[in-house]
Amino acid sequence: MTAKHEFQQLKKKHADLDEALRREEARPLPDEALITRLKKQKLMLKDEMAALESSAA
């Protein structure tokens, strides 16, 4: 798998988590623990993407 392909996969997962986060926050009684987990996952993916970008440069 190329770095570009891996980056695109991470970007897709990040977008999917962002959508899940928006849906959960829009609920009448959102699950705060789930929101926290989703935000942590998004941050981890963002860190992975940054690491890929820096290693490719």
pLDDT in tens, 4-28: 899 999 999 999 999 999 999 999 9
Q: Domain containing 52: what range? A: 3-56
Q: Residues 21, 35: contact at Cβ < 8 Å?
A: yes
d(CA 35, CA 25): 7
d(CA 57, CA 5): 16
Task: Indicate the number of domains in the chain.
Answer: 1
The average pLDDT across 22-49 equals: 97
Q: How confident is the model at residue 3 (pLDDT cuts 50, 70, 90)?
A: confident
pTM, rounded to two decimals: 0.86
Residue 55 has pLDDT above 90, yes or no: no
Percent of the chain with pLDDT over 70: 98
